[in-house]
Chains A and B, each alone.
Chain A
């Protein structure tokens, strides 16, 4: 069939006579562009695999520190997960609050400019978050972490001894939280704004206060969007490189202690730190860790998309 009938099914079927050269060429061009996406992604997978392969098949003795590849990657995976976990724990409640503020509490005029501001936050390069984190947030965190180590040291997270430079996992996680907050809150805001007006007004008419209306109508309506937005934010936090690279002082250990000066690195930060000085098999090892990172973020993003599409399919939108 010719392409002309596809998007407008109401239109009577056009005969073969209408298939012009221009039509065929243009639809071919557009399809080729679509296929390019598949080719590029396949390329990403193939080239990464082929460059990671020497590291996967190499004898253990040739690998860095003479360690098994899994042993090399594990502390990095651990660091990646823990920094992202801190980011999510801090960012999601704040993002929901910011989204509620812009969608339901702030006056219209303010809420517009606030949305701009939050979007702008998302555009600030990560390297700038990084140097801000180490120059401002790190030093500011030192008295707090000192207090945590002194008074809550019995909790493994705050075991200490507290770092005196602020180059800790906690600070890295907080900076990551700041970076993903705009993403999560943008998704949440979008859906909060779509809460049916009728439901909200009914709740208010039945005597609910504004908070009760939000709790009983808006939040349940937006719950899956908040979850999906958080997963997208998590995907971003897992792959975030520069802020962690520049803030953390890494030592490659596995620990839940968030405030000491000895921290596990993350996959992305490790690549950024090691890559410029690496050669030979080390490069292949780093690419293998990149492949692991790709797999983790892929899994997280797919879960997020599945949640979103289930929501769309159930017709809530």
Chain B
């Protein structure tokens, strides 16, 4: 980019490709690769791959010939980045398609209304597991949210000095705890008091709460931080004490964001399998008391139906996929509801 090149800043070939050049090239390469795929009988994924490669090569050659090296590189990188993005999205679509198409086979009323009690091969359902998941997650949420929100209030409104720094640091540490280690912690905690054979629903809740607390703190902290200071000062100026200011002014302003954060945290932990596998155990019948005995839950249900099918295996595998579908529906509903709340009630604050 030396100053001497002012008149031809983009190299010797400074022509310009037509506006829809990329589109044209990709339409052509899609057709070409469709022909190749049909001729060789290849899968749609290979067709997509060929389309990408041929298109990339085509735009490179054309742009190099007409526009010169720098513009060609620009086009190539833009196209390549887009293609990598598409490549990253393919597995997601495949995953959702697979779960829906395989899960629908057993996603019937029997699946949603019956447990596995006395079921040997066909039939049966996941009601006991779904109820277990709701109870375990609800107990975890009830434990994690007050601690998390109050800790965030401490960090934003009250914290100072070394204690604040160390709590911030340890929240980060907690964020990095692998889920299986949280499960081991819950197990160790109960095993010391009740012996090593203990399996309870509430042990799973403890593990999930350990995973939830840092997520809740982080999101609540962020939401409290963006509440404008002017609101606090206005409240102080009216003679409102600090604790009422926090309760009546700061928290309501940040509420939508905090609720969103909590729902996302729930969505994150509701599908956790590893910690529940080693704490709640599994059972075939409905157990609604988290303090008494083993408790089935959806993730472990899916795992066990899939990993340890009986004979014949088909009904087990089908139940596993139906369970996976139910799990993904729950996660998506939580996720979308959280986004909806954020968009509808959230105070739009840009940093």
What residues of chain A have their CB less than 8 Å away from a CB belonging to chain B?
3-4, 6-8, 11, 18, 20, 22-23, 25-27, 29-38, 40-41, 43-44, 47-48, 50-51, 93-94, 97-98, 100-101, 105, 114, 116-117, 119-132, 135-137, 140, 178, 181, 206-212, 214, 232, 235, 238-242, 245-246, 268, 271-272, 275-276, 279-280, 283, 286-287, 290, 293-294, 297-298, 300-302, 305
Asked whether, in the complex, the Cβ of A4 is within 8 Å of the Cβ of B181, the reply is no
Asked whether, in the complex, the Cβ of B277 is within 8 Å of the Cβ of A276, the reply is yes
Contact of A120 among B159, B278, B281, B332 (CB under 8 A): B332
Complex interface bits, B315-344 against A, C-beta within 8 A gives 1, otherwise 0: 000001100100110011001000100000
Asked whether, in the complex, the Cβ of B167 is within 8 Å of the Cβ of A38, the reply is yes
Asked whether, in the complex, the Cβ of A97 is within 8 Å of the Cβ of B302, the reply is no
For the complex, what is the distance from the CA of A48 to the CA of B188, rounded to whole Å? 6
Asked whether, in the complex, the Cβ of A129 is within 8 Å of the Cβ of B95, the reply is yes
B241 CB to closest chain A CB (Å) equals 5
For residue A131, which residues in chain B have a CB less than 8 angstroms away from its CB? Answer: 302, 306, 320-321, 324
For residue A129, which residues in chain B have a CB less than 8 angstroms away from its CB? Answer: 95
Asked whether, in the complex, the Cβ of A23 is within 8 Å of the Cβ of B241, the reply is yes
Asked whether, in the complex, the Cβ of A272 is within 8 Å of the Cβ of B236, the reply is no
Asked whether, in the complex, the Cβ of A41 is within 8 Å of the Cβ of B174, the reply is yes
15 additional contacts (CB under 8 A) given A209-B70, A239-B179, A246-B303: A8-B232, A34-B151, A34-B159, A34-B167, A40-B210, A105-B78, A105-B81, A124-B331, A126-B274, A128-B328, A207-B10, A209-B73, A212-B73, A287-B187, A301-B173
- Determine which residue in A4, A127, A207, A212 has the highest number of CB atoms from chain B within 10 A of its CB, and name it: A127
A241 CB to closest chain B CB (Å) equals 4
Asked whether, in the complex, the Cβ of B150 is within 8 Å of the Cβ of A242, the reply is no
Complex interface bits, B147-170 against A, C-beta within 8 A gives 1, otherwise 0: 111110111111110011011011
Complex interface bits, B219-241 against A, C-beta within 8 A gives 1, otherwise 0: 00000000001001100100001
For the complex, what is the distance from the CA of A234 to the CA of B87, rounded to whole Å? 21
Kindly state whether residue B289 has any CB partner on chain A within 8 Å. Answer: no
For the complex, what is the distance from the CA of A125 to the CA of B158, rounded to whole Å? 36
**CB nearest neighbor in A for B274:** A241
For residue B175, which residues in chain A have a CB less than 8 angstroms away from its CB? Answer: 301
Asked whether, in the complex, the Cβ of A132 is within 8 Å of the Cβ of B95, the reply is yes
Contact of A209 among B74, B177, B299 (CB under 8 A): B74
B107 CB to closest chain A CB (Å) equals 15
Question: Are A30 and B150 CB-contacts (below 8 A) given A8-B233, A97-B84, A117-B92?
Answer: yes
B217 CB to closest chain A CB (Å) equals 8
**CB nearest neighbor in B for A240:** B178
What residues of chain B have their CB less than 8 Å away from a CB belonging to chain A?
1, 9-10, 45, 70-71, 73-74, 77-78, 80-82, 84-85, 87-89, 91-92, 94-95, 98-99, 102, 146-151, 153-160, 163-164, 166-167, 169-182, 184-185, 187-189, 191-192, 196-197, 210, 213-214, 217, 229, 232-233, 236, 241-244, 246-247, 264, 267-268, 270-274, 277-278, 281, 299, 302-303, 306-307, 320-321, 324, 327-328, 331-332, 335, 339
Asked whether, in the complex, the Cβ of A268 is within 8 Å of the Cβ of B178, the reply is yes
B281 CB to closest chain A CB (Å) equals 8
Question: Are A246 and B307 CB-contacts (below 8 A) given A101-B81, A268-B274, A271-B278?
Answer: yes
For residue B147, which residues in chain A have a CB less than 8 angstroms away from its CB? Answer: 33, 36-37
For the complex, what is the distance from the CA of A76 to the CA of B303, rounded to whole Å? 22
B156 CB to closest chain A CB (Å) equals 8
Asked whether, in the complex, the Cβ of A305 is within 8 Å of the Cβ of B185, the reply is no
Closest 10 CB pairs of A and B: A239-B178, A125-B271, A33-B150, A301-B176, A26-B243, A241-B274, A209-B74, A97-B84, A30-B154, A47-B188
Asked whether, in the complex, the Cβ of A235 is within 8 Å of the Cβ of B176, the reply is yes
For residue B306, which residues in chain A have a CB less than 8 angstroms away from its CB? Answer: 131, 246
Asked whether, in the complex, the Cβ of A290 is within 8 Å of the Cβ of B81, the reply is no
- Determine which residue in A34, A136, A245 has the highest number of CB atoms from chain B within 10 A of its CB, and name it: A34
A131 CB to closest chain B CB (Å) equals 5
For residue A207, which residues in chain B have a CB less than 8 angstroms away from its CB? Answer: 1, 9-10
For the complex, what is the distance from the CA of A135 to the CA of B85, rounded to whole Å? 23
**CB nearest neighbor in B for A5:** B242
For the complex, what is the distance from the CA of A140 to the CA of B77, rounded to whole Å? 28
For residue A287, which residues in chain B have a CB less than 8 angstroms away from its CB? Answer: 184, 187-188
- Determine which residue in B155, B242, B267, B273 has the highest number of CB atoms from chain A within 10 A of its CB, and name it: B242
**CB nearest neighbor in B for A29:** B150
For the complex, what is the distance from the CA of A208 to the CA of B74, rounded to whole Å? 10
Asked whether, in the complex, the Cβ of A101 is within 8 Å of the Cβ of B233, the reply is no
For the complex, what is the distance from the CA of A136 to the CA of B232, rounded to whole Å? 54
Asked whether, in the complex, the Cβ of B160 is within 8 Å of the Cβ of A6, the reply is yes
**CB nearest neighbor in B for A6:** B160
For the complex, what is the distance from the CA of A44 to the CA of B181, rounded to whole Å? 9
For residue A294, which residues in chain B have a CB less than 8 angstroms away from its CB? Answer: 177-178, 181
Asked whether, in the complex, the Cβ of B94 is within 8 Å of the Cβ of A33, the reply is no
For the complex, what is the distance from the CA of A132 to the CA of B99, rounded to whole Å? 8
A80 CB to closest chain B CB (Å) equals 10
Asked whether, in the complex, the Cβ of B160 is within 8 Å of the Cβ of A25, the reply is no
For residue B278, which residues in chain A have a CB less than 8 angstroms away from its CB? Answer: 271-272, 275-276
Question: Are A3 and B158 CB-contacts (below 8 A) given A33-B151, A127-B273, A132-B98?
Answer: yes
- Determine which residue in B155, B185, B197, B320 has the highest number of CB atoms from chain A within 10 A of its CB, and name it: B185
For the complex, what is the distance from the CA of A6 to the CA of B187, rounded to whole Å? 41
For the complex, what is the distance from the CA of A220 to the CA of B182, rounded to whole Å? 37
Question: Are A38 and B170 CB-contacts (below 8 A) given A8-B232, A209-B71, A287-B184?
Answer: yes
For the complex, what is the distance from the CA of A249 to the CA of B143, rounded to whole Å? 38
For residue A116, which residues in chain B have a CB less than 8 angstroms away from its CB? Answer: 339
Asked whether, in the complex, the Cβ of A178 is within 8 Å of the Cβ of B91, the reply is yes
For residue B146, which residues in chain A have a CB less than 8 angstroms away from its CB? Answer: 33
Asked whether, in the complex, the Cβ of A93 is within 8 Å of the Cβ of B84, the reply is yes
Question: Are A44 and B177 CB-contacts (below 8 A) given A4-B241, A23-B242, A33-B147?
Answer: yes
